[in-house]
């Protein structure tokens, strides 16, 4: 059987999607906190040599057989481009609650000034991106029931 190829950026985006999903499920209802989280992610992505390519809203109608009705699901596709690796991938933010849209808007606003300015990007190698993805998955597995996922994560990834 042929296995699909996943680049290091693909692996990273899967981990980031999982992380952001967990963070947004925490009880965050303060707009200042949402802005602070989006700013942290914007700076972190940039420090790794990544810039936002685009944010696309994706709406999908799904038929629920149990309820016998069609429900609309909303998610946002966020594309990241790694400047040195010349690799692009994306992750989704799912609208599970009211703060998902606010987070996406804030993240998009935070990254607008950075987009297209490759000269201000940090740098990271393929192996570093892969290692970070693995570390994110390990972190999430170590803290399955944490209610302050963002604070725990930033503490670990800021101090090493």
Residue 115 has pLDDT above 60, yes or no: no
* Residue at 3 is within a domain: no
R_g of the chain, CA atoms, integer Å: 16
For residue 117, the tally of other CB atoms under 10 A from its CB is 11
Q: What is the pTM of this model?
A: 0.84
Residues linked to residue 89 through DSSP beta bridges, in sequence order: 80
Residue position matching structure tokens 């970070």: 132
Could you read off the pLDDT of 7-54 as tens digits, one per residue? 999 999 999 999 999 999 886 767 788 989 998 998 899 899 888 878
* Residue at 34 is within a domain: yes
Asked if 72 and 51 count as a contact pair (C-beta separation under 8 A), the reply is no
- CA 158, chain centre distance (Å): 17
Alpha helices for 61-148 (secondary structure H):
99-111, 126-142
The pLDDT value given to residue 15: 97
* Residue at 159 is within a domain: no
* Residue at 55 is within a domain: yes
* Residue at 160 is within a domain: no
* Residue at 1 is within a domain: no
* Residue at 141 is within a domain: yes
* Residue at 2 is within a domain: no
Domain housing 21: 8-154
Number of domains in the chain: 1
List the structure tokens of 72: 């609309």
Could you read off the pLDDT of 75-111 as tens digits, one per residue? 999 999 998 899 999 999 998 777 889 999 998 887 6
């Amino acid at each position: 059987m042929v296995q699909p190829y996943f680049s290091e950026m693909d692996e990273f985006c899967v981990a980031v999607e999982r992380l952001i999903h967990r963070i947004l499920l925490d009880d965050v209802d303060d707009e200042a906190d949402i802005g602070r989280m989006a700013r942290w992610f914007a700076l972190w992505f940039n420090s790794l040599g990544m810039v936002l390519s685009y944010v696309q809203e994706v709406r999908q109608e799904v038929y629920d057989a149990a309820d016998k009705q069609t429900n609309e699901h909303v998610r946002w596709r966020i594309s990241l481009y790694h400047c040195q690796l010349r690799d692009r991938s994306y992750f989704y933010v799912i609208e599970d609650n009211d703060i998902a849209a606010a987070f996406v808007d804030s993240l998009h606003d935070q990254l607008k000034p950075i987009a297209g300015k490759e000269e201000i990007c940090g740098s990271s190698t393929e192996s570093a991106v892969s290692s970070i993805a693995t570390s994110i998955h390990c972190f999430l597995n170590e803290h399955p029931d944490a209610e302050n996922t963002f604070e725990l994560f930033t503490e670990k990834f800021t101090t090493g």
